[in-house]
Amino acid sequence: MMKSAPQPARTSLPAPGLVALGLALAASVAGCGTVKTTNTARTGTEQLLLTDAWDAALSRIDFRPLTGVPVFLETQHITAVDQGWVISSLKQAMLQQGVLLRTKAEQAQWVVEARVGAYGTDQYDLLVGIPQTTIPMTITGLPAGTIPEMSLAKRTDQHGVVKMALFAYDRASGQLVWTSGTSQSKSNAKDVYVGGVGPIQSGTIRKSTEFSGMKIPVAHDLTGGLVGQPSPDSDGAQGGGAIPLPLPPSATASDIDSFSP
């Protein structure tokens, strides 16, 4: 009688080994993806600051003395970075007030010349605490180093500033027929950090005070006029002209008070 060959002994993996093997197999078949993000050369905050300040300054110009007369808008002295928005909004404001615009100077009786005296941003920073400090090497053997910033409260206040003016003259005689005077306006965006927590964001370019994208119910009188109130037309309800935004608080307010969001 023939005997069968002995079968090899089977070994089983312990439970932890089975779990590790399962994870390895899952990792080998699982996919992964990446998202590419880019940023524009100019921040959206900067663009909003400038265009909002421009809109507020433009809303104060009364073009009604020009109605009924063919007008050509001369824009060669407008060199603002947002030139497309600036010129287009000028034309819209004039048309909304009944001005008859012409595409060529020879087709117009009057020429309106626009100029921009200021179109830029300023930034003000205030820190209550210890700023970042670099310690130079003064003793041999002791390395130089940097002490990180330690702040109790920190505020960054960025302003958009616009100054503009227009005047009109008769194309044939060269006589001055109208002037708008100078119109100035400001907008602002404010970021506040308290004990390293923030930013708490407010300002005329924002409809409310926010923290990490969440709206914070803050009374307007606590913001020093920094929180821009949406106009009745902002949600697309009955159209109308731009409404001047509130200006930043007086410089006489103390810096500590201005930390309120």
Closest CA to 203 of 261, 259, 256: 261
Q: What is the pLDDT of residue 255?
A: 41
Instruction: Tell if the pTM clears 0.85, that is, is over it.
Output: no
**In 3D, which of 123, 46, 122, 40 has the Cα closest to residue 82?**
46
DSSP-based three-state secondary structure for 194: strand
Q: Are 257 and 235 in contact (CB under 8 A)?
A: no
CA of 125: how far to CAs of 34, 185, 186, 255, in Å?
Answer: 36, 21, 17, 10
Residue 22: the pLDDT is: 65
Distance CA 20, CA 26 (A): 10
Nearest Cα neighbor of 244 from 54, 104, 63 is 54
pLDDT of residue 196: 76
CA distance 207 to 234: 10
- Those residues with Cβ within 8 angstroms of residue 216's Cβ, 6 or more apart along the chain or in another chain: 200, 208, 209, 210, 261
Per-residue pLDDT of the chain (261 residues; tens, 9 = 90+): 555 555 555 555 556 666 566 666 655 555 667 788 888 888 999 999 999 999 999 999 999 999 999 999 999 989 889 999 999 999 999 999 999 999 999 999 999 999 999 999 999 888 887 777 777 777 666 667 777 767 788 888 999 999 999 999 999 999 999 999 999 999 999 988 888 777 888 889 887 887 766 777 665 444 444 333 443 333 333 333 343 434 334 333 344 444 444
For residues 97 and 219, what is the distance between their CA atoms, to the nearest angstrom?
A: 35
Distance separating alpha carbons of residues 128 and 235, to the nearest angstrom: 39
Q: How far apart are CA 110 and CA 39, in angstroms?
A: 44
What pLDDT, on a 0 to 100 scale, did the predictor assign at position 106?
Answer: 94
**Structural contact between residues 258 and 249, judged by C-beta atoms closer than 8 angstroms:** yes
User: What's 90's DSSP letter?
Assistant: H
